[in-house]
Amino acid sequence: MKASLFFLFLLTSLGACSQQPAYQNVDNKKFTELMKQSDAVVLDVRTPQEFQGGHIPNALLIDYNSGYFAEQVEKLDRDKTYLVYCATGGRSPRAAQIMTDKGFKHVYNLEQGISRWNGDVVK
């Protein structure tokens, strides 16, 4: 009986853990600190039109809504650190989750996107 209860507890605990996102949400300050890492890649998941309107310096654009996002992400180096953002924080968490589901271990999502970004913007 005790073994059965322990097994049930273990399964419940593992199930709860799997529902947590594997990426981390970060604020402007942490995002800026992470940008200084030599392996950091800033990833903009907005549309090309949004990107042209202004983006974080040195950002790589992969449009989340393109229909090819998951395919494009497959080509990236999984060992690098990815700093993901969108316009207001709607698309980037979904993009970050896709990345972590594909085995990326160091993925950070900018909370509230570029709309709340207080760093440099390239236009």
Any idea what the CATH number is for the domain that residue 52 is in? 3.40.250.10
Q: Is residue 106 part of a domain?
A: yes
- pLDDT digit string, tens, across residues 24-38: 999 999 999 999 999
At residue 112, the 3 state secondary structure works out as coil
Which among 39, 38, 27 has a CA at the least distance from the CA of 118? 27
Structure tokens at 3: 């073994």
| Dist. CA 116–CA 64, nearest whole Å | 19
Residue 114 CB partners (closer than 8 Å, separation 6+): 44, 46, 54, 55, 56, 85, 86, 87, 121
Structure tokens at 86: 């969108």
- pLDDT digit string, tens, across residues 58-108: 999 999 999 999 999 999 999 999 999 999 999 999 999 999 999 999 999
On the question of pLDDT at 7 being above 50, the answer is no
Q: Is residue 27 part of a domain?
A: yes
Q: Domains in the chain: how many in total?
A: 1
Q: Residues 26, 62, 86, 99: which is the catalytic one?
A: 86
Residue 86 a catalytic site member:
yes
Q: Is residue 16 part of a domain?
A: no
Q: Is residue 71 part of a domain?
A: yes
Residue range of the domain that includes 109 = 22-116
Cut 0.95: pTM above it: no
